[in-house]
Structures are given as structure tokens and as C-alpha cells.
Copies of this chain bind each other. A is one copy, B any other.
Amino acid sequence: MGDLDPVVKKVGLELRPPELGDNRSPEKRVRDALAGKIKDVPVHLPLKISRLLPTLLPDAGYNVSVVLSFDGCGWRICRCTGANEQKRVLGLAVDLGSTSVVFYLLDLETGNTLKTLSQENPQRVHGEDILERIIFAQRGGLGELQRQVVDLFNESAISLCRQVGAEVTDIFFMTVAGNTTMCHFLLGLDPSHICKEPYIPAANRFDFLSPEDLGLKMNPHGCIYVLPNVGSYFGGDLIAGILASMMAEKEEISLLVDVGTNAEVVLGNKDWLVACAGAAGPALEGGILSCGMRAQPGAIERVEISPEDLSVRYKTIEDRPPKGLCGSGIIDLLAAMFEAGLVDQTGKLMIQKDPTRMRQINNEWAYIVATESETAHGEPVYITQSDIKNLIRSKGAMYTILNVVIQSVGITFDDIDNFYVAGAFGNYIDPEKAITIGMLPDIPLDRFKPLGNSAGMGAKRVLLQKDSFARIEDICERITYLEMNVRGDFMNQLTGALFLPHTDLTRFPNVAKRLNLR
């Protein structure tokens, strides 16, 4: 991902002791020595550190080690110790998700990730859904939401540092990538307008913050950088994804999509970037389906159905007895059912195809994936006719959003060299299955590139490559944001996508050929 040029660096300084002909102050002595090593940018020396130097320099025999943190304008001296004191130089990258918050503790001298910690977002007690939390914030709960996440940051930083034998004050820099609302909560910014027309965040860009601005436990002279957003539905997590994929630096055209309740898409290359976000519906994340669940132990994440004997094979997370279906399992399931002829192109359940697994539950037909005898809770895991309709609406919306973005710049899906699927469950989607149901476009499978946790990766990249700030500024300036809500052709296009894989089969030639569709 490029050369190591971290936002924090340690510099050793061998200073000359003062004498009558050289009565520079300790402060000037340090600055002059640094001037030989740091070019063309100002060096800032906090007063509190300036106060320590007159004692520290002679005690250390004028042989010191200085930790410098980039502060948005120049390098700030954050620590000065004797050269032989062994202390860590750490950075913390945070993927601030609404469900999980993932912390990456990095050694900024080597660039290595020392530890990773995934924590549940404590704000969930005020609503699984972001909208619920926004309403809670509007009713006076913003301070509480902020406190919860700051406490989580502090506990996690302490825990991670303890694990590597360091102190929180060894953390000199923190980068945070989260969606627009999560970042608003962290920063105590009013999120009210995020979810109502014309959907404006309180702020798009945030200056470098100091730990005391937020009450964060780290080196008091260090900096916090919260990645900017370019709209209510296009947050710092996506900006981090663009950075992690390096798509804004490539000649080739890439498309990055974060699959979730909202589909967030960015398309472009080193010359141009177009972004778009739209509601795909919660079905894709398993949220509102009868047996949908989060990607937790016992969730069915992979499903296969034999086209010959219609036998079902599934895999659950951690191989526990099944409890429900998570996002990737749902997509697999619908694709497998479609391939096996258990649903037709409109999504209608073919009851007669497998009467043993088709059952009426709560007055509608359902297909049983795991029977009561197999599951953890003694209830069957199934998908109903309504679930399938919901799912098709969601996958149709997703495809349409992708298509609108593609059309907006006058290219086709074939022009896309890299197709990155990101997001909470994006990494687990099997692109072939997603193509089969018409959620992702029918392009060669090798163009789909796994990206891992793109928000976390982007946040890490900022720590390790100082030029990321300029890249992010550039991305934000260059990006053209298409407001999906104001595009009239969206609804027309959506209609064609409410089919498996699509009413227009020329769009899915490989699926049509493989499944012999007409």
C-alpha cells in the first residue's frame, strides 16, 4: 500500500551542551537539531514540554529521543525522553461502526498491527437502528451517546495498551473512520438534519482534534483525525474504503460498493469520482426477514442446494447449530433456490418442486432451510414468500443504484476493472451468487476483489502514510455526489430489477446461459 511514512515519528537527537559561546536555550537547541532532520515544515513545541527541557536535557546527557506527531500544519513535539529510554510509539485506527467498533493498535515505527479488538457499539442499547439513535439524540441523548463511545474508546485503548505492555500515553495518533451519523455522535454534533430533507450533516470535515476536545485517553499532545464525510449517507467509512482500495490513485476504473441497508457506491479512478447512496432495504442484512439474524455464531452463512436431489447443505458461523440466516447466507439461499427451480424468475415459490421443505407458516408459504431437529432453538430456519419479495426489492434496489451510477458517467459494467464489495457483510458475499440473483452485475468473477474491512484499512493507511490527508482532501474535493432521491429514472429502472436476475436477460448473459433462461 505504498511506503511507510507515518503520521508520527521518533527522532534521535545528539545535542551539544551549552557553553558560554553557545547559550541557546534547551528549546532552541532541540529546534535547531530538528531543523536538520525535518525540512520545510514548522515544528511545534507545546509549552508543557518546553517546561521539561531544562531538566531533561542535562539529565539525559543531551542525548534525547523526540516523538513528533503531524498536527495538520507541521510536526508537534509530543514527547522528549532520554535516548536510551525504551518507549513505544503507537497509533490507534478505529473503524467506528454502528454495530461493532474495531480498534487496531499499530506500532508506528514498524507499521505493524500489534493487536485488534472488536467491540460491540454500546449505543445499541438506544436502538439497533441508526434512526432510533438519532431520535434519542434529538431528545437530549446526544451527550449520552457521545459519552458511551468515548468510554468505549478509552477502555479499549487501555486494554490494548496493557496487552502489549505499553501505556495509553504511548498512543500519539488516532484515526477514526465511521459513517456520518456515528462520527456526529462521537463529536457531539447535532445529527438531526442527517435524516430529513435535504439531508445535511452538521459538518463534512473535521479539523485535527486534541485529546481533551473529546476526553480521549492517549498522549495529551497527540492528535485525533476523524475522516470526513461527503454527505449524510456517504461517510468517513466510505472515504476510508476509497483510500484502502487505492481506486482514486489508479488509471483503471473501479467501483466500490458498501452493501447494507443503504447501498453506498463510489465509481471512478485517479481523474474522476462519482458517489451515490440509496436505500437498498434492510433485507440484505437479514434485518427484517423471518429468520434473519446478524453474523453471529449459529448464523447460516453459506447455503448450497443440490439441483439433482434438492438436498440442502449449509455452513454456520463457528459451526454451531443453526439459529437463523445472515446476509451472505440469504443471498446464497436465494441463488441456490433459483438455480434449483424452487423459485421462478418473479420470485414465486414453486411449492410442488419440493413439497417436503415447503410448509405453510403463519398463513404463508415458506421454504425450510434447517428443520427444527437441526436447529439450536428447536424451531425451523426458513424463508417465506414475503421474505423473498423483500429480498428481491432490496437486491433490485442495489442493482439499480449501481446501474444509475454507471449510466451517470456513460459507461457500462464491462468498463469496470475492479469491483470492490465492502461493508459489514460485503466481504462474505459470494459474488457468483449475488450475480445469479441479479444483485451484482454479470461481469467476470476475477474483477471482484475482496477488500477486507475497508474502513479499518483506510484508517490504518492514514496512520502509516502521511500523504493520506492530502489524498482525502483531494477525494472530497473531486467527488461528485449524485442525490439518488432526486433521480426520476430510478423507479423506472427498479421495476426491471425486481426479477431474478432481471427482466432484461441481455444484462445477465452468463446467468441466462448457465441456467438456460429465456
Stretch from A18-26, A124-132, A236-244, A354-362 contacting the other chain: A18-26
Stretch from A6-14, A38-46, A291-299, A383-391 contacting the other chain: A38-46
| A231: Cβ under 8 A from any B Cβ | yes
Contact, CB under 8 Å: A190 / B55: yes
Contact, CB under 8 Å: A203 / B28: yes
Q: Which residues of B are found within 8 Å of A25, using beta-carbon distances?
A: 200-204
Contact, CB under 8 Å: A53 / B198: no
Stretch from A206-214, A328-336, A452-460 contacting the other chain: A206-214
| A348: Cβ under 8 A from any B Cβ | no
| Known pairs A21-B486, A28-B204, A199-B23; A209 contacts B74 (CB<8 A) | no
Contact, CB under 8 Å: B192 / A31: no
A407–B20 CA distance with the chains assembled, in angstroms: 21
Instruction: Among B23, B54, B74, B193, point to the contact of A54 (Cβ < 8 A).
Output: B193
A232–B50 CA distance with the chains assembled, in angstroms: 16
Additional A-B contact list (5), CB under 8 Å, known A23-B198, A27-B204, A50-B189: A27-B205, A47-B209, A50-B206, A54-B190, A73-B74
Contact, CB under 8 Å: B202 / A18: no
Oligomer copy total: 2
Interface centre among A31, A72, A198, A213 (most CB of B within 10 A): A198
Contact, CB under 8 Å: A205 / B28: yes
Report A34 CB to chain B, min CB distance, Å: 13
| A187: Cβ under 8 A from any B Cβ | yes
Top 8 A-B residue pairs of the complex, sorted by shortest distance between their CB atoms: A73-B73, A27-B203, A28-B204, A25-B204, A20-B198, A25-B201, A54-B202, A23-B200
A202–B28 CA distance with the chains assembled, in angstroms: 9
Report A354 CB to chain B, min CB distance, Å: 48
Q: Which residues of B are found within 8 Å of A23, using beta-carbon distances?
A: 198-200, 231-232, 481, 483
Q: Which residues of B are found within 8 Å of A213, using beta-carbon distances?
A: 47
| A197: Cβ under 8 A from any B Cβ | yes
Instruction: Provide 20 A-B residue pairs closer than 8 Å at the C-beta atoms, listed in order of the A residue.
Output: A18-B198, A20-B486, A21-B483, A22-B198, A23-B200, A24-B204, A26-B200, A26-B202, A27-B202, A27-B204, A47-B206, A47-B209, A50-B206, A51-B189, A51-B190, A53-B202, A54-B190, A55-B190, A73-B73, A73-B74
| A188: Cβ under 8 A from any B Cβ | yes
Q: Which residues of B are found within 8 Å of A481, using beta-carbon distances?
A: 23
Report A445 CB to chain B, min CB distance, Å: 36
A205–B231 CA distance with the chains assembled, in angstroms: 42
Q: Which residues of B are found within 8 Å of A188, using beta-carbon distances?
A: 47, 51
Report A205 CB to chain B, min CB distance, Å: 6
| A110: Cβ under 8 A from any B Cβ | no
| A506: Cβ under 8 A from any B Cβ | no
Closest to A229 in B: B25
| A311: Cβ under 8 A from any B Cβ | no
| A371: Cβ under 8 A from any B Cβ | no
| A485: Cβ under 8 A from any B Cβ | yes
Closest to A476 in B: B28
Instruction: Among B189, B207, B232, point to the contact of A46 (Cβ < 8 A).
Output: B207
Report A45 CB to chain B, min CB distance, Å: 6
A18–B198 CA distance with the chains assembled, in angstroms: 7
A207–B28 CA distance with the chains assembled, in angstroms: 12
A130–B51 CA distance with the chains assembled, in angstroms: 20
Report A107 CB to chain B, min CB distance, Å: 28
| Known pairs A42-B73, A51-B189, A73-B42; A19 contacts B198 (CB<8 A) | yes
Q: Which residues of B are found within 8 Å of A55, using beta-carbon distances?
A: 190
Which A315-330 residues have a C-beta within 8 angstroms of B? Answer: none
Closest to A197 in B: B20
A209–B48 CA distance with the chains assembled, in angstroms: 11
Q: Which residues of B are found within 8 Å of A20, using beta-carbon distances?
A: 197-198, 483, 485-486
A231–B23 CA distance with the chains assembled, in angstroms: 7
Interface centre among A25, A26, A28, A72 (most CB of B within 10 A): A25
- Contact string against B for A residues 414-426, beta-carbon threshold 8 Å, 1 for contact and 0 otherwise: 0000000000000
Q: Which residues of B are found within 8 Å of A51, using beta-carbon distances?
A: 187-190, 202
Interface centre among A23, A42, A204, A231 (most CB of B within 10 A): A23
Q: Which residues of B are found within 8 Å of A200, using beta-carbon distances?
A: 18, 23-26
A205–B205 CA distance with the chains assembled, in angstroms: 32
Contact, CB under 8 Å: B207 / A47: yes
A290–B415 CA distance with the chains assembled, in angstroms: 96
Q: Which residues of B are found within 8 Å of A199, using beta-carbon distances?
A: 23
